[in-house]
């Protein structure tokens, strides 16, 4: 009897530990995203103040996604795509001739996903994939089937740039959240080759 009680207490303790760790990971997202977006809007503000005004509105919509969605455990995948489009708008305005961002999605876009999961990979690509001349080349692909969810973000990076398998807070956050939310059913794979950085998430329902 005492052994059963101990096991129940241990299980509950581990659950609480996991929930606390997940909340801490989610709390990292808002300031991290805000910092990156403010840098983008600030750079436009220095060169074209009128152009920066509508960008503040786009940033406001994107940040509403961050603040509102990180209070939830699951959101529709379409919400993640809306965030990426707002963010992409900011980046295109920053340097329209040198920024190429494409998004291709297949399958049920209303499937529930953890908030800011795919968006964090996209943000990481923006942060680390920018060339000195402002060039930014990012491809986002999403493939949802009954058997698997696959998200992939691909970006070119400057030659000589510091690229490794860690790539900062964002990717570490994604990896840890996947382990907590999809234990044994998800993997974050990173491949760096020939000036291309590819980060993909595979999730088995």
Architecture of domain 2-203: 2-Layer Sandwich (3.30)
Global pTM reads 0.74
Q: What is the pLDDT of residues 85-127, one digit of tens each?
A: 988 988 888 788 899 999 999 999 999 998 888 888 998 888 8
127-150 pLDDT tens trace: 888 898 989 999 999 999 999 999
Beta strands in 29-185 (DSSP E): 75-76, 99-106, 112-113, 136-144, 149-156
The shares of helix, strand and coil residues in the chain, as percent rounded to the nearest 5, are 55, 20, 25
Pairing of strands 99-106, 75-76: unpaired
Q: Which of 98, 97, 89, 100 is nearest to 41 (CA)?
A: 89
């Amino acid at each position: 009897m005492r052994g059963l009680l101990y096991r129940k207490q241990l299980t509950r303790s581990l659950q609480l530990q996991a929930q606390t760790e997940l909340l801490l990971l989610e709390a990292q997202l808002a300031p991290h995203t805000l910092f990156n977006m403010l840098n983008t809007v600030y750079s436009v503000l220095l060169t074209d103040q009128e152009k920066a005004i509508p960008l503040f509105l786009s940033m406001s919509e994107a940040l509403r996604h961050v603040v509102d969605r990180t209070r939830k455990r699951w959101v529709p995948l379409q919400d993640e795509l809306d965030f990426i489009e707002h963010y992409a708008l900011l980046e295109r305005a920053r340097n329209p001739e040198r920024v190429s961002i494409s998004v291709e999605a297949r399958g049920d876009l209303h499937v529930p996903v953890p908030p800011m999961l795919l968006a964090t990979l996209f943000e990481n690509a923006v942060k680390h994939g920018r060339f000195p001349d402002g060039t930014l080349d990012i491809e986002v692909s999403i493939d949802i089937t009954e058997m698997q969810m696959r998200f992939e973000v691909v970006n070119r990076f400057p030659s000589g740039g510091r690229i490794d398998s860690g790539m900062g807070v964002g990717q570490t956050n994604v990896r840890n959240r996947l382990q907590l939310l999809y234990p044994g059913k998800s993997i974050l794979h990173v491949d760096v080759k020939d000036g291309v950085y590819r980060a993909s998430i595979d999730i088995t329902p």
